Amino acid sequence: MPIRQKIIKTNHGEIHTPAFLPDATYGSINSLSFKDCNLADVKEIVTTTMHLELKLGSEYIEKMGGLHKFFNWNRPILTDSGGFQVFSLIHRRGNKKNKITDLGAEFVDPATGSKFLLTPENSQQIQNRLGSDIRVVLDEPQGLGASHEQALESVVRTTSWAKRSKEEFQRLNTQTVLLGGVIQGGGILELRKRSALELMEIGFDTYNFGGLPILPDGSLDLELSKYLVDLLPEDKIRYAMGIGTPDDIVNLAKMGWDLFDCVLPTRNARHGYLFVPKGEGDKDYDNYSVMHLKSERYKYADIPIASDIPDELKNVSRAYLRHLIRIKEPAGFRLATINNLYFYSQITKKLRNGQI
RNA sequence: GCAAGGAUGGCGGAGUGGUCAAUCGCACCUGACUGUAAAUCAGGCCUCGUGAGAGUACGGGGGUUCAAAUCCCUCUCCUUGCA
């Protein structure tokens, strides 16, 4: 059976799915320039409302002509709502200074200590000033470990916030911009279903798999992923937020998920953990292998990283890149990141071409 | 030559009679990382052993003591000051 493929039309070009969007959280794919995206075959990116608002301010970015002009990047940009920070800064870290109410989520900027109230409405306003192509409603994520009570609360609040987000989105009268609702419910199927149905009732362009669906053993909850995707309308985009490893992407794309974003390829690159074709690294998985390039075993490896690598890496030996990363040299982070994003691009390209 | 201060694990540097195989940092080794508070975090890092544990160690040698990295003597070397 051929894989599900969609073409998403945006103000800044088409996205051919399945697609992987690297995270440019602070307005940059860490250690890359936008020109480097060509080397890594990166065609679209995700950036984050919360971080940009705290670091730069959306009013500033609006004055600078919006994200695309500011970045000089004419391809699609998806902005996350700041919802994940609700999860990572409040729930996961137990930070008492950050709190969540029906009104919104109150954060303390870790860098400056100043307070900021993120609401469904101002998250949309910020994303609108940023001028992104695909937007996300503010939500309250809960992971698989959440209790029934916590998961229910996150569903109820997320639906309520989704309504307010959509109203604000419509009020802003954005043309040809897509808005996504985020499905919550932790690991409880009934709650996931309720969340999906409530969001479909409101109506969105993309339906997003929210909360990190990672099991205690570190693997992705495939059963939940399958259950959820089957509830979603065929004609809408399905976006698996924060997913995942190359295998996760392959598995979910085959189920019918369209969009993916994840920090793994970029963060791991900086940690000397490279994604390479199966059989070429230290440990094999279904569709890839990992290479712990910092390891002593690559000290004398005077050969390229892998068989399929971008031109930029063809004359770089494993031993030399190992050295660069070990001394925390930005040039090394850059090359490793290019490698990993290129590998991810090849995975989605192969999925679209029916080669996986 | 005299005087004073030093010599601790790959390096830097704690410890000044027992709880010391020895705080800590760096380096090194092995992992982890899934809508990025992440150039981060965890574990290891004398030898043998999977482990309990055993052995050897705080410049060399000798001594005091139930017990020494810690006290005493001596030798070697280093630093500083005076000649």
pLDDT one-digit tens code per residue, A262-295: 999 999 999 999 999 999 999 999 999 999 999 9
Sign of the Cα pseudo-torsion (A139, A225, A76, A204, in order): negative
Pairing of strands A115-118, A105-108: antiparallel
Q: Mean per-residue pLDDT for A156-165?
A: 97
Catalytic residues of A: 80, 261
SS3 A309: coil
Nearest 5 degrees, angle CA A156-CA A161-CA A165?
150
SS3 of residue A217 by DSSP: coil
**A256 C-beta neighbours (distance < 10 Å), count:** 17
Of the two residues A323 and A106, the one the predictor is more confident about is A323
- Contact between residue A38 and residue A6 where contact means Cβ atoms under 8 Å apart: no
What DSSP character marks residue A220? B
pLDDT, mean over chain A: 94
C-beta separation of A179 from A204 below 8 A: yes
Task: Give the pLDDT confidence score for residue A96 in this predicted structure.
Answer: 67
Which CA-bearing residue is nearest the C1' of B30? A295
Residue A254 pLDDT greater than 80, yes or no = yes
Quick: pLDDT tens for A25-53. Answer: 999 999 999 999 999 999 999 999 989 99
The Å distance, CA of A325 to C1' of B83, is 56
Q: Which nucleotides of B are covered by protein (CB under 7 A)?
A: 28-41
Q: How many CA atoms lie within 13 A of A11 on its CB side?
A: 17
Reported ipTM: 0.92
Q: Using 50, 70 and 90 to split pLDDT, how confident is the model at A102? A: confident
What radius of gyration do chain A's Cα atoms show?
20
User: B2 C1' – A165 CA distance, angstroms?
Assistant: 87
Which residue is associated with the tokens 């924060």?
A242
Separation CA A351–CA A349 (nearest Å): 5
The token pair at A290 is 């990992």
